[in-house]
Structure 1
Amino acid sequence: MASAAVVTGLGMVATANAYAASGCRVAYSAPSQWPGGFTANVEVTNLGDPVNGWSLVWTFPAGQQVTQAWNANVTSSGSQVTATNVGYNGTIATNGTVAFGFNGSWSGANTAPTSFTLNGVACTGSVGGSTPPPSSPTPSRSTSPSPSVSPSASPSPSGPPAVSAMAAVAAMQPGWNLGNSFDATGADETSWGNPRVTEALLDTVKAQGFKSIRIPVTWGQHHGAAPNYTIDAAWLARVKEVVNWALADGFYVMINIHHDSWQWIANMPGDRTNVLNRYNALWTQLAAAFRDSSAKLTFESVNEPQFTGSSGDAQNAQLLNELNTSFHRIVRQSGGGNATRLLVLPTLHTSADQARIDELTSTFTQLNDPNLIATVHFYGYWPFSVNVAGGTRFDATTQADLVGQFDRVYNAFVARNIPVIIGEYGLLGFDRHTGTIQQGEKLKFFEYLGYYARSKQLTTMLWDNGQHLGRTSLAWSDPELFAQIKSSWTTRSGTAYADQVFVPKASAITAKTLALNLNGTTFQGLRQGTTDLVSGTDYTVSGSTLTLTASALTRLTGSRAYGVNATLHARFSQGVPWRIDIVTNDPPIVSNATGTTSSFAVPTQFRGDQLATMEAKYADGTFAGPHNWTSFKEFDVTFAPNYAAGTITLKPEFFAEVNAGSRVTLTFHFWSGATVTYYVTKATSGSVTGTIS
């Protein structure tokens, strides 16, 4: 007897597979889990006669609940869950597989279910005989809400993917960028100072726990002239070689059109036809070159799109929509694996501002393709990210900026089952060196970023142009930073208000307190090396306040030489320990100096302290130097400490925007809380005089 499907006017579906040979196999996995939540993937393989309309039932063993699903309608009754097909995946051929996914909540344990039934037949991994018809069809109402169209609610031109976009993007977490190699704008991948990419480098990245690699590629200097814009064969072959190495390592891989965005695509407002023809020609060639590559290869339409000389937001949105939709059409029509390949579309500037998100949401609705991914970039609250305007700490303002951006992309995309990749993240100050932001504040930023991205189901790709993982050494330049980043992929870590406790040398030693950020953990103790400090004698904890006793500090500071005398680690119930340096210090001392606008340094006895920021004001209280909307200048751009040399350099960029003949009052702020005042005057000749009074 043939299978029958009953469809009501309310969209209810019931199935009856009378006397059909039946059997099934279910693969259930939860590749991503965070406190209280998880993402699960379910693959159902039909081992019997073809099924037209399916219902999969299981029972959660630990009381988990489904909160959101894609590629299936899911309902629950207590611990029993029923998943039924959506319109495009109701038919499962013999030995065919359908996949769906969901987000869930849990408490106590997240034990996987072990038994499933498909249309009433237990999935044992083999054909188990026939299934008698039910006495009457059992309807199941679709739970897909949506006043707006969700791209995951309908198939791409050639049907749904074997694995949903949400599931694939979850499996891509965490990701890493191969920055400043193929995106270099010179003759080859070494033109920005990095060595040629090696298989050993990719193997190392894999060994660090990364699941995906974004390979930015700039094509502008590697193709011929109009009208064909033929890509240089050697360049394309080299890109393909590295892509294939990464795929062979098991990575998900993303390639794109990178710095072309500002090199020539930005000219689109005034040269639309030529720019679009060039862009289309490149993607036509790339789609053909990679059409048969693994489904783990994804394409990103363009990096950080921007337009020069446009009439404003409306035209910017129209031009980016034209690029994204043209990219989508070209790739989909190229066939092969490209018919369902995951495609990544950015917002304008890859910004998470609401207006930019709304523009991209409109494009997604227009394309109506379940195999699309949204992408934005995140480099933190700008004053903190570059250390300007007093943004020295990972404070409530900096945290709120992160929460706002991640919440906006979650609400616009993830909540509609559209996955999001943070295609680049980091801190902008890293472009100079990773010390632009104080170490402890930096660690708190990355701890929270990893946690909050995980809670919003965002896949993150660390921007690394060689400043993190050495391309030759294959070692982390800041192992403590990477340890914090890696821990944040799976759990929270306890931190503290600071990673330094200052003990003034010129005064008697007294107890010191430090506020702990427990972040859902519990404090376990303090350790110096392999020795545990004694609770009640060396320290006490009251709530989230840690107090180091005077006797412990006396022992730890020893001879009280300036600088770090001892290093402790606060241990918590999970995550990485928090380092606490015990530092002996006194207020820094500065001295008079002369120099020029191109070479001027303030002689400084730091006496164990470290510089946090610098203010600059004229005598009337107005702000001096660059960024004249704030008195606090940009670290490393206008000033920089040199602890080994005993100087604070004032850079030409600072003096370039200082009035000649006007005395500038500088206030140096140190991490101990000390402040030191200094005065500089720039002459019209370019000479500079610095005094302490």
Structure 2
Amino acid sequence: MRHPPRSVLLAVTGAVALVGAALVPVVSASGATPACTVQYTVTSQWDTGFQGSVTITNNMAAVSSWSLSFDFASGQKVTQGWNGTWSQAGTTVTAVNESWNGSLGTGASVSAGFLGSWSGSNAVPTTFKLNGTTCNVDAEPTPTPTPTGPPATGSAPALHVSGTKLVDAGGAPHRLLGVNRSGGEFMCVQGYGIWDGPVDDAAVKAIADWKANAVRIPLNEECWLGLSNIKPEYAGANYISAVKDLVARVESYGMTPILDLHWSHGQYTGNSAGCSDVHATCQKPMPDAQYAPSFWSSVAGTFKDDPAAVFDLFNEPYPDRATSTTTQAWECWRDGGTCPGIGYPVAGMQDLVNSVRGAGARNVIMIGGLAYSNDLSQWLTYEPTDPANNLVAAYHVYNFNTCSTESCWNSTLAPVAAKVPLVAGEIGENTCAHAFVDQVMKWFDDRGLSYLGWTWNTWDCSAGPSLISAYDGTPTAYGAGLHDHLKALNP
């Protein structure tokens, strides 16, 4: 998708009249001192709203910045906040320090407050995390309970291309059937965090419980490279570490991680521009020559010894919206350089393949076509050269795309699938139903091809579209289509 919903920056406003007060005590574990504690207080509550506050105490090493996160269980919404930058994505609330209260020494505390809305009940959050560390529990590790579903196996398959199939190390065909996990492309550049919602073991296990075997992870090149416009806590080594951790969790459940360059640098204000910003704040028509090759050299160097990881070079190219001819668009797509209608030097798909292979990585590479990866009509003609012979054609399809019918798939996709592996990296619809994705999955199933649903986030299914209403894996009406289908394929 070009425009995933953003986390909302909540403005600080003046005081309002409030009545009543209720204190919610911290529930502390016995034993060692917790790494951090959070006192959550409901100071006032009325018919549809309430005022709350949090007092955070840091018992770890001193930090120069802090980010607190917790989840509401009863549909509450934060509407305003102070003493921190407050945001909410689905059920997950995040408060990030202001410029003047970021330092938190060992044993030091800080308080922040907010206004919120509620309906039905106003249940107290049960888990709080400070900079990713769970608070109000013993600092010493506790045994991990035995999962009730499929256990983590650590057996994500090493993949390579063999003819028209993706195969594992033993040569058995392997279809990628799973979901996208959006967030890593936009949260960091917007200054709210790294992921949109939880990506801990329970959250990844919920994906595996759908019988998914692949997770596509959209990334932001400026965050990975640690450019100066990104908050340090979400940039460079911190961002890379978070990505590596998520990849490890995905693989621990036997699922294939697909690392995707989603948002990139370069100013484009032409036809179908998603933003006018030079920074990586939206989908650009092509990757930029300034940073994208460096991004892929670094990503490839990081994961070159992990043959289970797959690289998706660029989310949704659309040079066809900028250039005047189809030939110009495909030449720009493959060769980059100075492309008509695009005001920054472009890195072509051949440049990015060279960056990956130059870093010593032989991992499988996915490459989408034109028209936001919906047009593969000349993909074979302009296919880049790969010394590792490990290229896969990537395709995106939604009910509102041009190529969204069986006749188009038969005429443009089938010839590609007859030559190289074909993966639909994104499938979806904006109807909050699943009739269209059901049709897509049947066409791909009949040909033994791969697909991943957009997206494993708790957004409005008509705006996202979103597969889930909660990170425990509860499907939306739209997500039920993929959920039930994967379960039927792997009973």
TM-score by length of 1: 0.38
2:454 matched residue in structure 1: 463
How many angstroms does 1:191 deviate by? 7.6
Q: In 1, Cα distance between the equivalents of 2:249 and 2:422?
A: 25
- 8 Å Cα contact 2:221/2:265 also seen in 1: no
Q: Residues 47-105 of structure 1, C-alpha deviation per residue, up to 9 Å, x if partnerless?
A: xxxxxxxxxxxxxxxxxxxxxxxxxxxxxxxxxxxxxxxxxxxxxxxxxxxx999xxxx
Q: In 1, Cα distance between the equivalents of 2:388 and 2:377?
A: 17
Q: In structure 2, do the counterparts of structure 1 residues 368 and 167 end up closer, same or farther at CA, with 3 Å as the change threshold?
A: farther
1:393 matched residue in structure 2: none
1:305 matched residue in structure 2: 317
- 8 Å Cα contact 1:152/1:369 also seen in 2: no
Matched to 2:330, the amino acid is A
Matched to 2:292, the amino acid is Y
Q: In structure 2, do the counterparts of structure 1 residues 245 and 491 end up closer, same or farther at CA, with 3 Å as the change threshold?
A: closer
Q: In 1, Cα distance between the equivalents of 2:438 and 2:285?
A: 43
- 8 Å Cα contact 2:260/2:315 also seen in 1: yes
Q: In structure 2, do the counterparts of structure 1 residues 404 and 272 end up closer, same or farther at CA, with 3 Å as the change threshold?
A: closer
1:378 matched residue in structure 2: 397
Matched to 1:167, the amino acid is P
Report matched runs for 1:468-487 at 5 Å: 468-470=466-468, 473-478=471-476, 481-487=478-484
2:357 matched residue in structure 1: 332
Q: Which residue of the other structure, out of 334, 348, 361, is the alignment partner of 2:380?
A: 361
1:406 matched residue in structure 2: 409
In the alignment, is residue 257 of structure 1 matched against residue 261 of structure 2?
yes
1:319 matched residue in structure 2: 332
2:80 matched residue in structure 1: none
Q: In 2, Cα distance between the equivalents of 1:272 and 1:449?
A: 25
Matched to 1:298, the amino acid is V
Q: Which residue of the other structure, out of 186, 189, 207, is the alignment partner of 1:186?
A: 189
2:293 matched residue in structure 1: 280
Q: In structure 2, do the counterparts of structure 1 residues 289 and 403 end up closer, same or farther at CA, with 3 Å as the change threshold?
A: same
Q: In 1, Cα distance between the equivalents of 2:287 and 2:384?
A: 28
Q: Residues 104-152 of structure 1, C-alpha deviation per residue, up to 9 Å, x if partnerless?
A: xxxxxxxxxxxxxxxxxxxxxxxxxxxxxxxxxxxxxxxxxxxxxxx95
Q: In structure 2, do the counterparts of structure 1 residues 426 and 333 end up closer, same or farther at CA, with 3 Å as the change threshold?
A: same
Q: SS at 2:311's partner residue? A: strand
Q: SS at 2:220's partner residue? A: coil
Matched to 2:179, the amino acid is W
**Structure with more relative contact order (C-alpha pairs < 8 Å, separation 6 or more):** 2
Matched to 1:305, the amino acid is P
- Identity score, percent: 18
Q: SS at 1:285's partner residue? A: helix
Q: In 2, Cα distance between the equivalents of 1:279 and 1:237?
A: 19
Matched to 1:235, the amino acid is Y
Q: SS at 2:189's partner residue? A: coil
Computing the radius of gyration over CA atoms, which structure comes out larger, 1 or 2? Answer: 1
In the alignment, is residue 176 of structure 1 matched against residue 176 of structure 2?
no
- 8 Å Cα contact 2:257/2:308 also seen in 1: yes
2:197 matched residue in structure 1: 195
2:65 matched residue in structure 1: none
Q: In 1, Cα distance between the equivalents of 2:300 and 2:411?
A: 31
Please tell me the root mean square deviation across aligned C-alpha atoms, in Å. 4.1
Q: In 1, Cα distance between the equivalents of 2:443 and 2:371?
A: 22
Q: Which residue of the other structure, out of 442, 458, 467, is the alignment partner of 1:451?
A: 442
Q: In 2, Cα distance between the equivalents of 1:273 and 1:376?
A: 16
- 8 Å Cα contact 2:203/2:471 also seen in 1: no
Q: In 1, Cα distance between the equivalents of 2:236 and 2:225?
A: 5
Q: Which residue of the other structure, out of 218, 221, 224, is the alignment partner of 2:220?
A: 218
2:50 matched residue in structure 1: none
Q: SS at 1:305's partner residue? A: coil
Q: In 2, Cα distance between the equivalents of 1:409 and 1:273?
A: 22
Report matched runs for 1:24-39 at 5 Å: none
Q: In structure 2, do the counterparts of structure 1 residues 180 and 320 end up closer, same or farther at CA, with 3 Å as the change threshold?
A: same
Q: In 2, Cα distance between the equivalents of 1:262 and 1:205?
A: 34
How many angstroms does 1:300 deviate by? 0.7
Q: Residues 567-592 of structure 1, C-alpha deviation per residue, up to 9 Å, x if partnerless?
A: xxxxxxxx99xxxxxxxxxxxxxxxx
User: Which 5+ residue runs of structure 1 have no aligned equivalent?
Assistant: 1-98, 102-150, 155-159, 384-399, 435-441, 493-574, 577-693
- 8 Å Cα contact 1:350/1:375 also seen in 2: no
How many angstroms does 1:349 deviate by? 3.0
Q: In structure 2, do the counterparts of structure 1 residues 490 and 362 end up closer, same or farther at CA, with 3 Å as the change threshold?
A: farther
- 8 Å Cα contact 2:258/2:311 also seen in 1: yes
Q: In structure 2, do the counterparts of structure 1 residues 472 and 233 end up closer, same or farther at CA, with 3 Å as the change threshold?
A: same
User: Would you say how many aligned residue pairs link Structure 1 and Structure 2?
Assistant: 296
Q: Residues 218-264 of structure 1, C-alpha deviation per residue, up to 9 Å, x if partnerless?
A: 223553569xxx97111111111111111112111100210227867
Report matched runs for 1:627-666 at 5 Å: none
How many angstroms does 1:380 deviate by? 1.6
Q: Residues 264-322 of structure 1, C-alpha deviation per residue, up to 9 Å, x if partnerless?
A: 7988xxx99993132111111111111122x1110011110123743433222122112
- 8 Å Cα contact 2:201/2:249 also seen in 1: yes
Q: Residues 380-399 of structure 1, C-alpha deviation per residue, up to 9 Å, x if partnerless?
A: 2459xxxxxxxxxxxxxxxx
- 8 Å Cα contact 2:260/2:312 also seen in 1: yes
Q: Residues 485-524 of structure 1, C-alpha deviation per residue, up to 9 Å, x if partnerless?
A: 34444869xxxxxxxxxxxxxxxxxxxxxxxxxxxxxxxx
How many angstroms does 1:207 deviate by? 0.9
Q: In structure 2, do the counterparts of structure 1 residues 281 and 272 end up closer, same or farther at CA, with 3 Å as the change threshold?
A: farther
Matched to 1:412, the amino acid is P
2:51 matched residue in structure 1: none
User: Is the strand fraction higher in 1 or 2?
Assistant: 1
Q: In 2, Cα distance between the equivalents of 1:189 and 1:152?
A: 42
1:135 matched residue in structure 2: none
Report matched runs for 1:79-118 at 5 Å: none
